Amino acid sequence: MSRRAEPSREDIERLVAAARSVRRRAYAPYSGFHVGAAVLAEGRIYRGANLENASYPLSVCAERNAVAAAVAAGRRRIEAVAVVAGDEEPTPPCGGCRQVLHEFGPGMLVVSETTAGRRARWRLDELLPAAFEASSFVRP
Ligand code: THU
């Protein structure tokens, strides 16, 4: 997949604001850890919040719900993801979400902000080097 142009500062600010606002809709009664995420896909923003379940392993992270919203809208090229959570340090996407994000934008920008406004940024390929991907296996 080709590298995309760097998202503008304005796009990044809109993305972080979208993640911050959707965090209010998180359903996280078990962990109490509310997370909002937003992806920038082909110039549009799609949002997701974490969604937990009484059967704990069925819970889904905010990032994966945002990816699902983009794909359901027909957008498969993700340029950036923003995450907002309430920890003291910016929350990086979990390993499973890194893998799912990689499928739709291996070079994407990852921005994470705390509710207090502390921000970190990475490239996804720094967070998930040597990723397993479509070219990693031969289809029958
Ligand atoms: N969680 C996310 O939604 N995104 C992350 O990047 C880290 C973790 C959720 C999963 C679970 O609902 C809660 O945070 C605690 O792990």
CATH number of the domain encompassing residue 18? 3.40.140.10
The answer to whether residue 41 is domain-embedded is yes
Looking at residues 131-135, what average pLDDT do you find?
94
Q: Which two tokens stand for residue 34?
A: 């509310």
Q: Whose CA is nearest to atom 9 of ligand 1?
A: 61
The answer to whether residue 18 is domain-embedded is yes
Q: Report the 10 Å Cβ neighbour count for 91.
A: 20
Q: Which two tokens stand for residue 101?
A: 């994000």
CA of 26 to the centre of ligand 1 (A): 10
Q: Whose CA is nearest to atom 4 of ligand 1?
A: 61
* pLDDT of 100 strictly over 90: yes
- Helix H or strand E encompassing 20: helix 9-22
Q: Write out pLDDT tens, residues 24-76.
A: 999 999 999 999 999 999 999 999 999 999 999 999 999 999 999 999 999 99
pLDDT band at 23; cut points 50, 70, 90: very high
Place of tokens 């600010």: 13
The answer to whether residue 37 is domain-embedded is yes
The answer to whether residue 2 is domain-embedded is no
33-72 burial: b if 16+ Cβ within 10 Å, else e: ebbbbbbbbeeebbbbbbbbeeeeeeebbbbbbbbebbbe
Domain range for 61 is 9-129
Atom in ligand 1 nearest the alpha carbon of residue 31 = 15
Q: Which residues make beta-bridge pairs with 120?
A: 112
Domains in the chain, number = 1
The DSSP line for 29-59 is TTT---EEEEEEETTEEEEEE-B--SSGGG-
The answer to whether residue 138 is domain-embedded is no
The answer to whether residue 104 is domain-embedded is yes
Percent above pLDDT 70 for the chain: 97
**Rounded Cα–Cα distance for residues 139 and 16 (Å):** 38
